[in-house]
Structure 1
Amino acid sequence: MNLEILIKYLFLFTVGLITGTCGNDKLPREWKQGVELPAIFPDYAGITIPPNIAPLNFVIQEPGEAFMVRLTSKNGNDVTIFSRIPAIRINGSKWKKLLAANQGEELNIEIFCQNKGIWSKFNTVRQIIAREKIDSFLSYRLINSAYVLWFEMGLYQRNLENFRESPIIQNKSVNGGCINCHSLSKNNPEKFMFHIRSDFPGTVIYNNGKLEKIETKTDFTLASASYGAWNPNGRHIAFSVNKINQNFYVFKGQSNEVSDKYSDLVVYDTQSNILTTSPEVSTRSRENLPEWSADGKTIFYISAGEATNDSTRMITRYSLMRIGYDPEKNLWGMPDTIISAKLTGKSITFPKCSPDGRFLVFCMTDYGYFTIHHKKSDLYILDLKTWEYRATNEINSDETESYHSWSTNGRWLIFSSRRLDGVHTRTFIAHFDETGKFGKPFVLPQKDPDFYNNYLHNFNRPELMTGKINVSPQKIRDAAREDAVPVVFDPKVNIDALSGASKIKK
């Protein structure tokens, strides 16, 4: 056999091994029946999955010289996979047909392993295929886990129905500046915003096909806008304005702490270019992290006492608050405490309201609000009808749970967690049923079954989207590099009433 033919055969053989399939879809004639579930990574046993999710590829963590997997459900369209390696990749088109035909049914995953010519079968891994779809796209920031490489980051979008990922903007296009705090209106990719720090500072807003860049710092606000939330009306954006500090640690378990010396709330009108506030949310206390109610008439937020020194700046606890606001009339109500940090002894952060207005999910930790570095941070849910809240133990883990967002139908929650290795932030998905309970969460599926054991970037601030952001990274880059248009501070705000607020200039 000449060298060219030998290389050709070796290449075809290697491809067969890499893909994990070889066309043999017949089950073994005989096997030994086991009594335990197989060890697989990621853990996809006992979960509820969207009917439009990408294939849940996985690695069989059991010894074997060959592997067989069969996926079955009540209404047919079974999928059988034979592999010489434990990495199992499911054909996308077959997977899609299987899920489409069996919405609301149980999905059975049978796993066989061959050792020394003898096949063994494990107990069946079972899942539920939900009837409710998840929003088809996800946006997130990818950033290195080590701050020495923070200057390499970007905003990306991923099609959840397959594995296609594309950049929204990479910070190398703005001289390595920080790109952060992206937000959408009701998961709408036509209403999207993010901030840029360092070079080309400002806030880029994509609003129904129009790109613009604004500067939100005024003579009457202490800083440029930080954490933002769109009103469901798609016109107004609530922001916090923060004087942010970071402290870095050398001990194990926590790399740094983000805290604020000052913070207030403002609301920006995208049509009039006016930034407004109220003396009730611009005080010496630290108002932070606004979130709109489903009807757009209430702002939920967190608040902590004044930072009189470094200790009270860092080791502080936030209460959950609300205040009425009528965006059409620009009228503010009075603040109201929902859950007091004095009573819980904990700190609340990242309130997120469900689309139907019934529930509010938030994080609770020992202190502070930037929970991604807090191992003890857990998710909680508040019933806005009964005003009772509880820890969502069905989705919490022993590691960090942090930023989260809802699907538009209110049946899926995605959240950040470090449960896989305690170091890297990954995106998890959990079903939310009619009784107010979450199903077992599962990690965002990837094309490479072993992806999470090799990928070193963090998935930061995941936000579900109903579709793709259909504007090119080049156009977003061009808008980001333009001069920012200054916003106008609301002339109707009583400036004298703000004299006791956070570093307000009169």
Structure 2
Amino acid sequence: MKMIDNIKRLIGLVVWLVCTACASQPEQVTKVSEPAPIYPDYADVTIPYNIAPLNFLLRNDASALQVTVSGQKESLTVNGDRKVCFPLHKWKNLLETEKGQTLTVTVTARVDGKWLQYPAFTWQVALEKIDGFLSYRLIEPGYEVWNTIQLRERNIESFEEKVIADNNLVDGSCMNCHIYGKQDGNLSLFHLRGKNGGTILNRNGGLRKLSLKDDQMVSGAVYGDFHPSGHYGVFSSNIIIPAYHAHDNKRLEVYDTASDLAIADFDNNRMIVAPQIARKEVFETFPTFSADGNWVYYCASPAVELPDSLHQLKYSLCRIAFDAEKGEWGTQIDTLWNAETHNGSVCFPKASPDGRYLLYSVADYGTFPIWHRETDLKLMNLQTGEIDPLPTVNSDRSDTYHSWSSNSRWFVFASKRGDGQYGKPYFAYISPDGTAGKPFVLPQKDPEHYDYTFKSYNIPELSATPVPFDASDIRRVYQKTKVEEFSVAR
């Protein structure tokens, strides 16, 4: 066996040497001042040392190129045509060796028969890793076709990907709102609609199908989050209405005509609602727990006439206490970000695992910001109340649907930057002093991947470990597992 492995390594080395020898080598190089037209834009970004290779291409007529990545101790040179694809093993060795250091990237390309060398750019390799798995819902970016949906999980340390739920296996049912508890693949859930549907709860590989609703609630559970203990989940219940715009940058609008909050007790199959939140004159949505589980952050707006007054539907950021030992809501509601003062509408608050920050998005109005071009991410320091508008992170398109890495040094979000139609997952680094770095898109094995993939990466969620199930397990639960009913406790 050892001899066979050695032979395989030798063959691989010979193939690499032959390819390298046959590749065009730069000669009579001319230095130019314009930056290399690389795609995706990976220039001058901070990256985790466990990320997959940042393969890229040139958006010009290059017929050959050479890319050299130089660090303090290691370097890597790769040749190609107009694409550069770094060998995974060599890439991993380079980043592991150069943790905490700056890598210099030099691109030399043959364009119109001449070799041109572009100004170098850098990759700062952070000392902190990012959680190794990313899940997302692949879906067409519109309302016309929604019956081809998959939840997928990508190993972002490599290019391995698996399907964890496929609606073609569950009667074409819609699947949405997949979330994790404490960025742990062994604690997750998502809503599976349809006649045999329910909320699919995964705890250490044990899959349950839950009916998180009751006649006293506005609807079944919609948007939600896990309590740090894993024993509870907090959810909104919403009556959701779709509406369609004539404007190309706001194709689809979704708004609530009624919404409240409820906490699911997974151990005792009960829903815990609160009279102080169940108010018809106020819409509440997008609840999430604080890092210590003692607070519920959520969005609230005064009820308005809909759809006529849709532009006046603006949500503030609020919080209310929660006692996990007693399973009780608090009584006082605090407003942390006032929609009237800021003249905007807040969505999707997410607390960093270290309890230091709250990341949320802000649009002009409403609760469906993915088609609102103006939507930006904001970062609130929960210790000081200071708000960072994140100018290095946001773009001129919608930036939202965010998730933290378990060490609070990274977050992922969905952005429609570029073509304005397809959401893609971008990663951004938060330094220990709270400074956010330039984001970069999820790397793909083929750097042309996003050019020919006509799907949006919806609701990207980071986890430190993979989920212990796949699409066949979900089909079995959908077809054969009896749904568990929940009762309401006040």
TM range (shorter): over 0.9
Q: Deviations over 1:128-171 (max 9, x none)?
A: 01111000000110001232221000111000001111101101
Tell me the residue number matched to 2:186.
190
Structure 2 unpaired stretches of 5+ = 1-14
Offset of 1:201 from its aligned partner? 2.8
Q: Does 1:462 align with 2:460?
A: yes
Tell me the residue number matched to 2:285.
288
1:162 maps to which of 143, 158, 162 = 158
Distance of aligned partners of 1:21 and 1:312 in 2 relative to their CA distance in 1, 3 Å threshold: farther
Counterpart of 2:169 in 1: which secondary structure?
A: helix
After the TM superposition, which residues 125-136 of structure 1 pair with which residues of structure 2 at under 5 Å, given as runs?
Answer: 125-136=121-132
Contact 1:143 1:459 in 2 (8 A): yes
Offset of 1:328 from its aligned partner? 1.2
Counterpart of 2:437 in 1: which secondary structure?
A: coil
After the TM superposition, which residues 301-316 of structure 1 pair with which residues of structure 2 at under 5 Å, given as runs?
Answer: 301-312=298-309, 315-316=312-313
In 2, the alpha carbon distance for the partners of 1:138 and 1:52 equals: 13
Offset of 1:216 from its aligned partner? 1.4
Counterpart of 1:98 in 2: which secondary structure?
A: helix
In 1, the alpha carbon distance for the partners of 2:450 and 2:107 equals: 22
How much is the aligned-residue C-alpha RMSD, in angstroms?
A: 1.7
Runs ≥4 residues deviating over 3 A: 20-30, 115-118, 312-315
Offset of 1:116 from its aligned partner? 5.7
1:324 maps to which of 316, 321, 326 = 321
Tell me the residue number matched to 2:266.
270
Counterpart of 2:62 in 1: which secondary structure?
A: coil
Of 450-459 and 27-36, more deviation after overlay is shown by: 27-36
After the TM superposition, which residues 101-500 of structure 1 pair with which residues of structure 2 at under 5 Å, given as runs?
Answer: 101-115=97-111, 117-284=113-280, 285-312=282-309, 315-333=312-330, 334-481=332-479, 482-490=481-489, 493=490
Of 460-469 and 30-39, more deviation after overlay is shown by: 30-39
Question: With structure 1 as the length reference, what TM-score do the two structures score?
Answer: 0.90
Structure 1 unpaired stretches of 5+ = 1-15, 494-506
Q: Which amino acid aligns with 2:326?
A: K
Q: Does 1:43 align with 2:68?
A: no
Counterpart of 1:328 in 2: which secondary structure?
A: coil
Tell me the residue number matched to 1:100.
96
Question: With structure 2 as the length reference, what TM-score do the two structures score?
Answer: 0.93
In 1, the alpha carbon distance for the partners of 2:37 and 2:482 equals: 54
Distance of aligned partners of 1:403 and 1:128 in 2 relative to their CA distance in 1, 3 Å threshold: same
Q: Which amino acid aligns with 1:301?
A: Y
Contact 2:213 2:271 in 1 (8 A): no
Offset of 1:25 from its aligned partner? 7.7
Distance of aligned partners of 1:307 and 1:402 in 2 relative to their CA distance in 1, 3 Å threshold: same
Offset of 1:424 from its aligned partner? 0.6
Identical columns (%): 35
Offset of 1:252 from its aligned partner? 1.8
Offset of 1:309 from its aligned partner? 3.9
Counterpart of 1:310 in 2: which secondary structure?
A: coil
In 2, the alpha carbon distance for the partners of 1:453 and 1:223 equals: 39
In 1, the alpha carbon distance for the partners of 2:63 and 2:203 equals: 55
